[in-house]
Amino acid sequence: MEGIVYQTPPNAQIPLEGGEEVRDALIGLVEALQESTQRAEAAIAKADTILRLQAEGSSHREIVDAQERPLIIEMATANIGALYAAGARLRRAEARALHAEGMSMDSIAGFFGVTRQRISALLRSNKDEYGPSWVRRSLQG
């Protein structure tokens, strides 16, 4: 799958504060979605092979011993982790941009379907948020 190339036209202006952060986060999410699609297609191909081998009478042990990495579960975990991280980055960027444009934390919370406290934490955060430890591990490997 080919990646999308994004270029801002020379005379284009990014609207108000946070526009570039939102654009960069959105591009990151698109890239994570594209990579996720590639991993999903590879995982489906592996699953088809496993199902064929089972139908041909191979034991589960024989199938597992013959598998190459990454395993299907590793691919699924990597997808979830990458999408979680990219989604969190976009959520944070959008919350910051909306708040910079004057939207209240209560309104942003309603828009995102989270609590006001969660929006407050997003606005205070100065680092990328990768979530639970299994998400961080999936992004490392």
pLDDT number for residue 14: 47
Beta-strand ranges (E) seen in the chain are none
Helix (H) or strand (E) holding 92: helix 72-100
In the chain, the percentage of residues whose pLDDT exceeds 90 is 70
Residue 1: pLDDT over 50: no
Confidence (pLDDT) at 125: 84
- CA 24, CA 33: separation in Å to the nearest integer? 14
The model's pTM is 0.73
Give tens-digit pLDDT for 47-62: 999 999 999 999 999 9
Q: What is the pLDDT of residues 101-129, one digit of tens each?
A: 999 999 999 999 999 999 999 898 876 55
For residues 33-45, give the mean pLDDT: 96
**How far is it, in rounded angstroms, from Cα 27 to Cα 29?**
5
What average pLDDT does the structure give for the chain? Answer: 84
- % the chain with pLDDT above 70: 76
- Taking the C-alpha atoms of residue 136 and residue 119, their distance in angstroms, rounded to an integer, is 22
The pLDDT tens digits of the residues spanning 89-100 come to: 999 999 999 999
